[in-house]
């Protein structure tokens, strides 16, 4: 059962178009080089998949499993890091792929983890950036998909209590917690 939504913020078509343009920007930035894409799980896996399909450079992927929402609709500042096998990124170009930047805590944590592994370069690619959100000290967003209002959103990998991830668009859910 698909739970009710209040409104669709970004359609499937808009997502596909912007992801294609982001891939073009990344292809130009890393032309002739190898790139390791590090996806921050679970939310960014659909974004990573869509992005990878549009890249025409040599890529490897890895995953960081971080969680900040723990079932809530507002981001938390405490980040849980679940250990997974991780590629060797020392002396390699790395692009962190994140679904959403709201508090900035998970992106900052992921950036710090990767930075300690001594990559040649470390940049970020974020699908959604919330406007007017109080962010912790975060790394710059090098490749950005969309600015969105400061609302809780789901779809295209983003969830509410593990629901809504499969939606092919970004939406504001109709939830009452």
177 is catalytic: no
Cβ burial, residue 14 (10 Å; 0-12/13-18/19+) = middle
CA distances from 70 to 66, 88, 152 (A): 10, 29, 14
Kindly name the residue from 102, 147, 159, 177 that is annotated as catalytic: 102
Q: Is 40 helix (H, G, I), strand (E, B) or coil?
A: strand
Give the integer Cα–Cα distance in Å for 28 and 37: 15
pLDDT tens by residue, 131-167: 876 666 789 999 999 999 999 999 999 998 888 999 9
- Buried/exposed code over 47-66 (b: 16+ C-beta within 10 A; e: otherwise): bbebbeeebebebeebbbeb
Q: What is the CATH number of domain 8-170?
A: 3.40.50.2020
The token duo for 19 is 């992801």
For residues 155 and 139, the answer to whether their CB atoms sit within 8 Å is no
Residue spans of the domains in the chain: they are: 8-170
Return the beta strands (E) in 42-120 as ranges. 58-67, 80-82, 93-101
The token duo for 136 is 């912790």
Classify 13 in phi/psi space as left (phi over 0), alpha (psi -120 to 50) or beta: alpha
pLDDT tens by residue, 17-71: 999 999 999 999 999 999 999 998 888 999 999 999 999 999 999 998 866 655 5
For residues 158 and 106, the answer to whether their CB atoms sit within 8 Å is no
Q: Global pTM?
A: 0.88
């Amino acid at each position: 059962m698909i739970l009710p939504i209040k409104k669709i913020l970004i359609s499937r078509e808009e997502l596909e178009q912007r992801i294609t343009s982001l891939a073009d920007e990344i292809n130009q930035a890393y032309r002739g080089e190898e790139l390791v894409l590090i996806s921050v799980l679970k939310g960014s896996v659909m974004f990573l998949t869509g992005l990878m399909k549009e890249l025409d450079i040599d890529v490897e992927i890895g995953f960081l499993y971080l969680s900040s929402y723990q079932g809530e609709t507002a981001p938390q500042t405490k980040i849980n890091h679940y250990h997974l096998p991780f590629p060797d990124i020392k002396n390699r170009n790395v692009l962190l792929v994140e679904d959403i930047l709201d508090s900035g805590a998970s992106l900052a944590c992921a950036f710090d983890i990767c930075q300690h592994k001594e990559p040649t370069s470390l940049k970020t690619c974020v699908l959604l950036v919330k406007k007017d959100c109080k962010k912790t000290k975060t790394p710059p967003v090098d490749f950005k998909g969309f600015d969105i209002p400061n609302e809780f959103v789901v779809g295209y990998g983003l969830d509410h209590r593990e629901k809504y991830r499969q939606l092919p668009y970004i939406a504001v859910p109709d939830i009452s917690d």
